[in-house]
Amino acid sequence: MTPADRPRRSCLTVPGSSARFLAKASSLPADELIFDLEDAVAPSAKQDARALVARALAEGDWAADRVLAVRVNAVPTRWAYRDVIDVVERSGERLDAIVLPKVTGPAHIVWLDLLLTQIEQDRGLPQGKIAIEAQIEDAAGLAAVDDIATASDRLAVLIFGPADFMASLGMGSLTIGARPEGYAGGDAFHYPLMRLLVAARAAGLQAIDGPYAAIGDLDGLRVASVSAAALGYDGKWVVHPDQIGPVNAAFSPSQEQYERAELILEAYEHATTVQGRGAVLLGAEMIDEASRKMALVAAARGRAAGLTRTQRYTPSEGGLAPGG
Ligand code: GLV
Ligand code: MG
C-alpha cells in the first residue's frame, strides 16, 4: 500500500507538549495520529515538545497499520529545520509522514523533500520512506495548489486548514470550521474544498478536510464530515477523542453502499468478460465503465473499514441496457 492509499478517515491532532495526551493516543481508534509541534504548542514549549514527540514515537507501542505523523512548524519560522532534523533522526524508523503547515508554494515542499532525503541517507533509512502531507490554508497556498501537489513524489496528502484559511480571507467567523454567519450564498467552504480536491486527485493524492473545533457540537461535526465525504474527501482532522467515532462513520460507506459497490464490480466483470458487453442493467440501473470506477472507490473504502459482503451477484440480476 502506498502512503496515498492508507486509510485516513480520522486524523487526530495531539499537542506535542503534552506527555499525557501523547501517552493516551495509542489507545484511540483514529486512523492517523498527528503529533503537533506547530499551533498547539506555545513558542516557549517548542523545544521540549520536539523531544517529547520524538521519544513518544520511538518508544510508544504503536499498531503497525496506524499512520503516524508529526506536524512541524511552517518553513518561514526559525523552528522548522530543527523540528524535521530532530524528529526524523530520532524516530524516523517508525515515522510515516511529516505534515507541513501553511504551504504557500512548491518551494516549501522542495525544501522539505531535500532535507528528508539527506536525513534518510545519513540514517540508512529507505529513500522516500517519510511521506509529506501539505496543509493548504491561505489564499497563496490555494492559488498555487496545483504546483504544490506535484512538487515531490513524497507528497501523499493535501489537507485543508480552515482556521488559517478563514483568517487569511477575512471570513466572518471566530470558530474553526464553522460556517461564517450571515453569508447568503450556499456553502462558504465549497470553493476551497473543491479546488483542493481537484488538485489532489489530479496528482493522485488523498484529500483531507481540516478540524471542526466546536467539540461539544457533534451534530455540526457530523454535517461537516458527511458533506466532505459526499464531495469525495478521504477523511477529516479531529481534535478530541469524542470526534473520532462520528468522523470514522462519516468517511466509511454504509453496508448498503458497500454491498452495491461490490455487486457493480462483479456484474460489470461478468458483462465485459462473459457477455462481451460494456453497458448492462443491474436491477433497474444501467452500469458501465464509469460505474465500475465509482464502485472501485466505495468498495476499497468499505474493505478498509472492515465491512464484509453478505450478498453475491447472480447473472439473472443483470440484463442488456437500452442501446447496450
Ligand atoms: C489547521 O491547521 C487550520 O488552520 O485549520
Ligand atoms: Mg492551521
pLDDT single digits (tens) 34-79? 999 999 999 999 999 999 999 999 999 898 889 999 999 999 999 9
Q: Is the CB of 176 under 6 A from ligand 1?
A: yes
Question: Tens of pLDDT along 277-311?
Answer: 888 888 888 999 999 989 998 898 898 888 999 98
| Residue nearest atom 2 in ligand 1 by C-alpha distance | 161
What is the C-alpha to C-alpha distance for residues 35 and 12, in angstroms, rounded to an integer?
A: 8
Read off the C-alpha cell for 295. Answer: 464502485
Rounded distance from Cα 281 to ligand 1 centre (Å) = 45
Nearest ligand to residue 162 Cα: 1
pLDDT, greater one: 2 or 130: 130
Distance (Å) from CA 241 to ligand 2 centroid: 19
- pLDDT greater than 70 at residue 321: no
Model confidence pLDDT, tens digit, residues 165-197: 999 999 988 888 788 888 898 899 999 999 999
User: Does the pLDDT value for residue 322 go beyond 70?
Assistant: no
Q: Best of 39, 71, 175, 193 to mutate for ligand 1, by most ligand atoms within 8 A of CB?
A: 39
Q: Which residues contact 49 (CB under 8 A, 6 or more apart)?
A: 15, 16, 17, 37, 41
| pLDDT of the residue at 1 | 77
**Mean pLDDT for the chain overall:** 93
Say yes or no: CB of residue 177 within 6 Å of ligand 1. no
Average the pLDDT over 108-132 and give the result. Answer: 97
Whether the per-residue pLDDT at 88 is higher than 60: the answer is yes
CB 137 less than 6 A from any atom of ligand 1: yes
- Single pTM value for the model: 0.92
- At residue 324, the pLDDT reads 40
pLDDT tier, 323 (very low <50, low <70, confident <90, very high otherwise):
very low
pLDDT score at 140: 98
Q: What single DSSP character describes residue 174? A: S
CA of 163 to the centre of ligand 2 (A): 6
User: Nearest CA to 9 among 242, 238, 283?
Assistant: 238
Q: How far is the CA of 5 from the centre of ligand 1 (A)?
A: 23
**pLDDT tens per residue, range 257-273:** 999 999 999 999 999 99
Q: Which residue has the higher pLDDT, 3 or 67?
A: 67
| Half-sphere CA count of 18, side-chain side, radius 13 A | 14
